[in-house]
Amino acid sequence: MKVAVIGTGYVGLTTAVSLAMNGHQVIGIDVVAKKIEQLQRGHSPIFEPGLEEALQHVLTEKTVAFTTDIREATEAQIIYLCVGTPEAEDGEADLTYVLAAVEQIRQLHERAPAERIIVIKSTVPVGTGDKVAELLRTCEHLHVASNPEFLREGSALQDALHPSRIVIGTDDEVAAEKLRELYAGVDVPWVQTTRANAELIKYAANAFLATRISFMNELARLSAVIGTDVSTIAEGIGLDSRIGPQFLRAGLGYGGSCFPKDTIALLQVAKKNGVRLSILEQVREVNRTQPEWFLSQLKAKLPELAGMRIALLGLSFKPDTDDIREAPSLKVIDYLQKEGAQITAYDPVAVESVQALYPDVTYTQDPYDAFAGADAAVLVTEWHACIDLDWAKVKANMNSPLLFDGRNAWPAKELQERGFFYLGVGKSGG
């Protein structure tokens, strides 16, 4: 099928490449000319394992192309909206880019009428799909559906190629049939429902996963006081088939482009409709305060942080991405700088982005250099390069062997046996 994807960010580019890999003829559209030029050369503007190689493959196969001109999408049977919906000042999702893209589609359709399916993949407030359908009501043979994405940064391409489920929001059988044709061969559970239900499914999924994380982080605070090990607690409850092991790891809190933005957007939807989601309010509060709570334990060990050298291992919000949006590392840097600490940081791919925000931090290209002369070290992101280490070399590099594991990913027992002071999240130090 001929498909257009408007927006070539994280979701749009992954969507375009995965559809092209599945044999569809795809054109990616973006208003940023520099980004389109980069994509045409086969270079991905985002770091995502396997994505650039896949992009180069589909460019060679000529199943994908990129342009700034939506008129080149005239023959598209399906048009995906994958533009950003950033958080507005009041916490609501900003639909400026969505509505601008809808207007572009309307103008395209007026110039070249044809039967087309408009698919909203951007994460949007409940009711947006219906609003778009109303805006396009005079466009004959133009159908509107919701098809939310459930991509995980770091494994987005695999998630797009092998989704856990496909959710389609439409009561239009023409749209549903075309989307079934598009996804033919993808053998996963299929949920067809209303546009509003599909939109809420996306928000609810992210809000629930965020809730699991914050629940474990609250348990970690309790464990730190009563001497239990939150990692063992997570293992024990995760073996319950009603719960499962995913998203039960205590740490420094969630970040990225989805959970922070989507939880506040859902709270705003509830507020506008006179409903209070008190659990979700607390989820956000726990996440907001988690880095400071953990670092307070570092300060208890080193009361005078002024002038101390602290090594930070990992800066992106999670491994296998260069995304630093709402990354816990930024809160960690803020806290330590306010205390007057000197920071040396390492990350395999995210240094450039963080350096633009914090030029006075010392950045290294090797994890061992980050430990050099450090009075303490904090693991912020569990990259393999940050956890698979020669601990004898680490200890020899450090001024004082104090390790604070913000992801419970370092080998606690081994480190204690080697003479390190080790403290994880929701674990007793020693």
pLDDT given at position 257: 86
Cα torsion for 373, 375, 376, 382, to the nearest 10°? -10
CATH 3.40.50.720 correct for 207-424: yes
- The whole-model pTM stands at 0.93
pLDDT given at position 239: 98
pLDDT given at position 365: 96
Segments of the chain assigned to CATH 3.40.50.720:
2-193, 207-424
Tokens of 321: 């991405």
| Binned average pLDDT, 10 residues per bin, the chain of 430 residues | 96 97 97 96 95 98 97 96 91 93 94 94 95 93 96 94 97 95 95 97 97 98 95 97 96 94 95 96 98 96 96 97 96 98 97 97 97 98 97 97 98 96 87
Cα dihedral 61, 62, 68, 71 sign: negative
2-193 has which fold?
Rossmann fold (3.40.50)
Active-site annotation holds for 82: no
| Interatomic CA distance for residues 360 and 222, integer angstroms | 35
pLDDT given at position 75: 94
Give the residues across from 346 on adjacent strands.
313, 364
Residue 112 CA, distance from chain mean position: 37
Contact yes or no for 55/164 (Cβ under 8 A): no
Secondary structure in 3-state letters for 135-197? HCCCCCCEEEEECCCCCCCCCHHHHHHCCCCEEEECCCHHHHHHHHHHCCCCCCCEEEECHHH
